[in-house]
Amino acid sequence: SAVISQKPSRDICQRGTSLTIQCQVDSQVTMMFWYRQQPGQSLTLIATANQGSEATYESGFVIDKFPISRPNLTFSTLTVSNMSPEDSSIYLCSVGIYTEAFFGQGTRLTVV
Amino acid sequence: GESVGLHLPTLSVQEGDNSIINCAYSNSASDYFIWYKQESGKGPQFIIDIRSNMDKRQGQRVTVLLNKTVKHLSLQIAATQPGDSAVYFCAEKVSGGYNKLIFGAGTRLAVHP
């Protein structure tokens, strides 16, 4: 199993600013995943973060808007850049160990 | 308040009844399926999984059924309890990938005493 800690757990941000979300895992993992969960909706994969290489983004998500860092095997950050109210969502970090995926508790972002 | 599940379809059941939550998946190349439970303010929690070479798998109070012909997955919860109230998501993993998951729309389960 894996224990995933995300910071911050929630934030209220002004439009036009950026927020960096941190994800710390208690074990070394190859892949880390970032998801977005818009209000009342399901989870959508933003990108996959591999240590030592650039993140792979899903359709509809771009690096300029959601830059990701993966400096080591236990840590990753997701930045939500130049925020607008449409970015208000829960952002979740996930890791895969064998066939199971584990999730952090999420970061609830409100953009005003 | 909690917005997860606010606009999702809701299944309302009486405590003690059995619940069946359905999910249609999209990719016939998916080889692994998982059900997650998401409670208010938390990330999704693993409930049960099933591989594509199976059509049924049972856990404690939960059973997952897989029908690959119609790309349908269901989660059965026996003797539903108030603590089962949450949003439930199915997820599929496409064969050949790593642990990248595609999530279904989700269903909110409301258990009434």
Mean pLDDT confidence for A13-38? 95
Cβ neighbours of residue A59 closer than 8 Å, sequence gap 6 or more? none
Please name the amino acid found at residue B102: I
- Chain B residues with CB-CB distance to A under 8 A? 3-8, 32, 34, 41-46, 49, 89, 91, 93, 98-106
Phi, psi dihedral angles at B83 (to 5 degrees): -70, -10
CA of A9, closest CA in chain B: separation in Å? 9
Per CB-CB distance under 8 Å, the chain B contacts of A5 are none
Is there a contact between B46 and A45 if contact means CB atoms under 8 Å apart?
Answer: no
CA separation (Å) from B98 to A18, B12, B75? Answer: 30, 35, 24
Domain positions in chain A are: 4-111
Q: How far is B79 from chain A (nearest CA, A)?
A: 26
What pLDDT is stored for residue A1 in this prediction?
A: 77
Tell me the average pLDDT across A39-56: 90
Give A 68-107 residues with CB within 8 A of chain B.
90, 92, 94-96, 99-106
Q: Which of A32, A41, A45, A94 to mutate to test the interface with B (most CBs of B within 10 A)?
A: A41
**Is the CB of B100 less than 8 angstroms away from the CB of A33?**
yes
Strand, coil or helix: A79:
strand
Does residue A37 sit at the B interface (CB-CB below 8 Å)?
A: yes
What average pLDDT does range A14-41 have in this prediction? 94
Average pLDDT over residues A62-71: 96
What are phi and psi for residue A62, nearest 5 degrees?
-125, 155
Residue A85 above 60 pLDDT?
yes
Query: Which CATH fold topology does A4-111 show?
Result: Immunoglobulin-like (2.60.40)
The minimum CA-CA distance between A59 and chain B, rounded to whole Å, is 13
Number of residue pairs across A and B with CB atoms under 8 Å? Answer: 70
pLDDT value of residue A52: 81
Can you list the domains of chain B with their CATH numbers? 10-112 (2.60.40.10)
**Residues forming a β-bridge with A34:** A47, A93
Could you give the count of Cα atoms lying within 13 Å of A45 in the half-sphere of its Cβ? 22
For residue A22, count other CB atoms closer than 10 A to its CB: 16
Phi and psi at B84, nearest 5°, equal: -85, -10
What is the reported pLDDT for A106?
95
Q: b/e for B58-67, b at 16 or more Cβ within 10 A?
A: eeeebbbbbe
User: What type of residue is B58?
Assistant: Q
Predicted local distance difference test score (pLDDT) of residue B27? 85
pLDDT tens track, chain B, 113 positions = 334 445 678 999 999 999 999 999 888 888 899 999 999 889 999 999 999 999 999 999 999 999 999 999 999 999 999 999 999 999 998 776 566 788 998 999 999 99
Confidence of residue A40 (pLDDT cuts 50, 70, 90): confident
CA angle A18, A78, A43 (to 5 degrees): 110
